[in-house]
Structure 1
Amino acid sequence: MNGMHYLDARGPEGIRIYAIGDIHGHLDLLTTMHARIANEIARDLPADWRIIHLGDLVDRGPDSKGVIDFLIAATAHDNRNIVLTGNHDVGFLDFLAFPDPEGLFAHNGGAETARSYGVELSFSDRDSLHDGHAALVRAVPQSHIRFLRSLPYSASFGDFFFCHAGIKPGIPLDWQDPNDLIWIRSEFLDYPGLHPKVVVHGHTPQAEPEVMANRVNIDTGVFYSGALTALVIDGADKRLISVEAPGFSGWR
């Protein structure tokens, strides 16, 4: 069967890759993960490196604003920090443009995102929603909007393809629909064949990372579990690392 198997996949020569799963407003775990990665890089001195964030920066967790501030600063400091977009990031932008009370943002942690900007949102009636939306639009810096709008949907290094949700099987990687890259589930997750590259993704939370022949899912449900997970790729070597919130009573 044509395609790339996880066991055979290699990262690009001389570049260590760290791919971090869904963050969902957990600035504390993101900074802890970055500190761990920085310590590894200082210890091992790889020739080069990349840190890839697989999207869903916002919603559900307590500090989406802080996560965006941190990643804006990180990417400005060193462009080897790469941030991809997720469906929640797009949903945040959609809500800012039009306050849909039945949209993704309204029903999946958007109130927590607004609270991180100092805004209390109520979806109980049209007037409350209108007022809260107007306050949120005023509170969100234009730099955050520009940053979220600029995020790519995918990245590719060596034998690995990185995106938020997955790919549509059978479609060349360069031809993937952006909507699939941030939303797809069963058609991708249940596909038994190999892809042109091993797909590293998040989007579908699991109690433990999923390492399959054709894909690696590193979304460990940080907002349930208190655990943020990353895949490390260094040539032929692959390993998983995680950081956990102390005392967190989650599903792990």
Structure 2
Amino acid sequence: MFYVLGDIHGQTAALDRALRLIEADGGADRPLYFVGDLVDRGPDSRGVIQRIIDGQDAGRDWHCTLGNHDLMFAQFVLTGRVSHPEIKSGKTWLHHRLGGVHTLASYMAENELDHPEWTSWAEAQEAGLDPSSASLQQALSDAARAAVPERHIDWITALPLMCDAPDNHLIVHAGLRPGRPLAKQTRSDLTWIRDGWLDYDGPLDHRVVHGHTALDFPAHHGNRINTDGGAGYGRPLVPCVYEGGQWFTLDETGRTPLQPAA
């Protein structure tokens, strides 16, 4: 038996509820896999990362794969870079649709900004951030390097791209490039893929468990299970559990079978 949580996106209250549901199901000491995208959009990315680190430090059998939003966050702190070639819209990580500003706010609420217009993060928020401003990006990058704990960035950059799970399951963030051996899957495929993956209904060497593409509720597609129920957009974070050859979702009433789509 093992559990999987889809994209959390800075929602600590939703994470705490999901962990309580897992504990009530008898899974507190069972393996738990996080598919990544711990940060952005929600109000407390810092708290989400710290809760998972604390759980691992306490000896919980918790595993996490790298999500594209986690990657963009670490990239910004380390390099100040806000763009990524996989973002086809051209929006930067600081754009409100991607949610990087919310991640920074969870770390930097009290930190000063060395910026000609604003002396604090709160002032910048109140004024309405201009993510395209090079001077603001530099000020935020400098402040982020001072505010974000080194351990958080070290932890993110050490996250694996995939995790093996029992009964031939494979945990990844976004998916796989069908027909390509695991050893030749790229970081871009594993953290960003949609085209050529979401519409693939053929056989795979593993049953793949992923997130990345937000749905209204987790879905079983036969060869893959998408666990992203849209917590980053205000929907519940739904724990998924595998036991005895079957998948289930959890809520306060207990388990509900997660059946392959017809």
TM range (shorter): 0.7 to 0.9
Query: Which shows bigger deviation, 166-175 or 193-202?
Result: 166-175
Separation in 1 of the partners of 2:235 and 2:201?
30
Report the alpha carbon displacement of residue 162 of structure 1 after superposing the two structures with TM: 0.8
TM normalised by structure 1 equals 0.83
Q: Which residue of 1 aligns with 2:141?
A: 133
Give matches, 1:164-203, under 5 Å. Answer: 164-203=173-212
User: Once the 2 structures are TM-superposed, how far is the Cα of residue 79 of structure 1 from its aligned partner?
Assistant: 4.5
TM-score (normalised: structure 2): 0.80
Alignment of 1:19-168 (within 5 A): 19-41=4-26, 49-103=30-84, 104-107=92-95, 108-119=98-109, 120=121, 122=129, 123-157=131-165, 158-168=167-177
How far apart in 2 are the matches of 1:36 and 1:72? 19
SS at match of 1:200: strand
Q: Does 1:219 align with 2:204?
A: no
Q: With CA pairs under 8 Å and 6+ residues apart, which has the higher RCO, 1 or 2?
A: 1
Secondary structure at the residue paired with 2:222? Answer: coil
Q: Is the 8 A contact 1:19 1:53 kept in 2?
A: yes
Measure, in 1, the Cα distance between the counterparts of 2:223 and 2:234: 25
- Over the matched positions of the two proteins, sequence identity in percent amounts to 34
TM-superposed CA distance for 1:237, in Å, is 2.4
2:58 counterpart letter in structure 1: H
Question: How far 1:235 sits from its partner (Å)?
Answer: 2.5
Aligned AA for 2:206?
A: K
CA distance in 2, matches of 1:180, 1:125: 30
CA apart distance, 1:100: 3.1
Partner of 2:260: none
The 1:34/1:141 distance shift into structure 2, 3 A limit, reads: same
Q: Cα distance 1:27–1:154, how it changes in 2: closer, same or farther (>3 A)?
A: same
| Aligned-residue offset at 1:125 | 2.1
Check the 8 A contact 1:228/1:242 in 2, yes or no: no
Change (3 A) 1:182 1:242: farther
In structure 1, give the amino acid aligned to 2:190: L
**Counterparts in 2 of 1:55 and 1:101: CA distance versus 1, 3 Å:** closer
Asked if the contact 1:153–1:164 (Cα under 8 Å) also holds between the matched residues in 2, the reply is yes
Task: For residue 154 of structure 2, give the secondary structure of its aligned residue in structure 1.
Answer: helix
Paired letter, 1:151 = L
Distance 1:193 1:40 in 2: 33
Partner secondary structure for residue 180 of structure 1: helix
Aligned residues: 224
- CA gap 1:132/1:162 in 2 versus in 1, 3 angstroms: same
Q: Which runs of 5+ in 2 are unaligned?
A: 85-91, 110-120, 253-262
